[in-house]
Amino acid sequence: MPPAAPELISPRSPRVVAARRLAKRNFRSKERLFLAEGPQAVREAATHRADGTSTLVELFATVEAAERYADIIGEARTAGARVHLAADQVIEDISTTVTPQGLVGICRFLDTPFDEILAARPRLVAVLAHVRDPGNAGTVLRCADAAGAEAVVLTDASVDLYNPKAVRASVGSLFHLPVAVGVPVERAVAGLRDTGVRVLAADGAGEDDLDAELDHGTMGGPTAWVFGNEAWGLPEETRALADAVVRVPIHGKAESLNLATAAAVCLYASARAQRAAGGCRSVTGN
């Protein structure tokens, strides 16, 4: 049996043009759709549901990728997504990566209202305040997912959650836990504190030391970590909102830690303290 032929061969096809526009924030916001590239992200999108509706709307795949990832194609069709076999040039035109992996999905927005996050009374939350780099935002989201956090909040001063670089950097974690977007940092801190969450600002100039916090046994309760801008950290007015400003100790000669590394250290420290206190769920739900 001869191999299937691509049905979309021109980058000027209306479907391709519509997909390509989603690389721009204004079109994403208007359509409430975003791009997810590569097998990991597409697989997660195909199995993700919001209010009973599949997040994956449409999938473009090269013939080679469709054969290699036949299971993902099957999951996409089961989810009700429209699947298009596309020429390599078409995928390259839609993709925002230098070396496309042959699968590009179009997904519905999936952010969660902040009030719903509060109603769930989360025990571990990452708040991204003034984070402007999409790769960092996606990586922190991935770290939060791995550490067992129950939510992530992106403030109104942070990067777009659906920026293609942020989606790629999350490596599928975007589809794993609730994420609220566009929340003023003052509202985020006040809302979390009202639900009994202790708010810690992560800052290299913090008066409190992460090791000391752990030694004093103060991190076993519900905790939200506020992470700031990659270059200049958190402004004073944001630090003042927190219950404590905590620094990650530098025991060697490094000048500092980058944002994602510091976030991973802080989130895992909280996760460990909460598990010791018997209060932190595992990511598997056991």
Q: Are residues 202 and 95 part of one domain?
A: no
- Identify the CATH number of the domain in which residue 177 sits: 3.40.1280.10
Report the pLDDT value the prediction gives residue 1, as an integer from 0 to 100: 39
Strand partners, 181: 154
- Identify the CATH number of the domain in which residue 92 sits: 3.30.1330.30
Q: What is the DSSP letter of 224?
A: E
Specify if 260 maps to a domain. yes
Q: Are residues 261 and 216 part of one domain?
A: yes
Integer CA distances (angstroms), 233 to 17, 54, 155, 238, 245, in order: 39, 37, 14, 10, 12
Specify if 258 maps to a domain. yes
Q: Are residues 188 and 92 part of one domain?
A: no
Specify if 179 maps to a domain. yes
Among 63, 92, 108, residue at a domain's last position = 108
**pLDDT per position in the chain (286 positions), as tens?**
345 666 766 778 889 999 999 999 999 999 999 999 999 999 999 999 888 888 999 999 999 999 999 999 999 999 999 999 999 999 999 998 888 899 999 999 999 999 999 999 999 999 999 899 999 999 999 999 999 999 999 999 899 999 999 999 999 999 999 999 999 999 999 999 999 999 999 988 888 889 999 988 888 999 999 999 877 888 999 999 999 999 999 899 888 889 999 999 999 999 999 988 544 444 444 4
Report the pLDDT value the prediction gives residue 157, as an integer from 0 to 100: 87
CB neighbours of 42 closer than 8 A, spacing ≥ 6?
36, 56, 59, 69, 72, 76, 103, 104, 105
Number of domains in the chain: 2
Specify if 9 maps to a domain. no
Q: Are residues 120 and 82 part of one domain?
A: no
Domain coverage including residue 88:
14-108
Q: Are residues 122 and 66 part of one domain?
A: no
Integer CA distances (angstroms), 222 to 106, 155, 174, 175, in order: 35, 20, 22, 23
CB 128 within 8 A of CB 44: no
Question: In degrees rounded to 5, what are phi and psi of residue 140?
Answer: -65, -40
Report the pLDDT value the prediction gives residue 73, as an integer from 0 to 100: 96
CB 101 within 8 A of CB 23: no
Q: Are residues 228 and 144 part of one domain?
A: yes
Question: Which two structure tokens, joined as six digits, stand for 154?
Answer: 């992106």
In whole angstroms, what is the distance from residue 62 CA to residue 265 CA?
Answer: 39
Q: Are residues 40 and 98 part of one domain?
A: yes
In whole angstroms, what is the distance from residue 262 CA to residue 203 CA?
Answer: 9
Residue 232, Cβ neighbours under 10 Å: how many? 8
Among 80, 108, 136, residue at a domain's last position = 108
Specify if 8 maps to a domain. no
Which residue in 220, 221, 214, 239 sits closest to 229, CA to CA?
239
Specify if 284 maps to a domain. no
Among 88, 108, 128, residue at a domain's last position = 108
Specify if 104 maps to a domain. yes
Q: Are residues 51 and 131 part of one domain?
A: no
Integer CA distances (angstroms), 204 to 117, 209, 228, 234, 239, in order: 28, 9, 11, 10, 12
Report the pLDDT value the prediction gives residue 50, as an integer from 0 to 100: 82
Q: Are residues 152 and 89 part of one domain?
A: no
CB neighbours of 12 closer than 8 A, spacing ≥ 6?
none
Q: Are residues 160 and 57 part of one domain?
A: no
Q: Are residues 202 and 170 part of one domain?
A: yes
Q: Are residues 238 and 119 part of one domain?
A: yes
Specify if 199 maps to a domain. yes
- Which phi-psi region, left, alpha or beta, contains residue 267 (left: φ > 0; alpha: ψ -120 to 50)? alpha
Q: Output the pTM of the full model.
A: 0.89
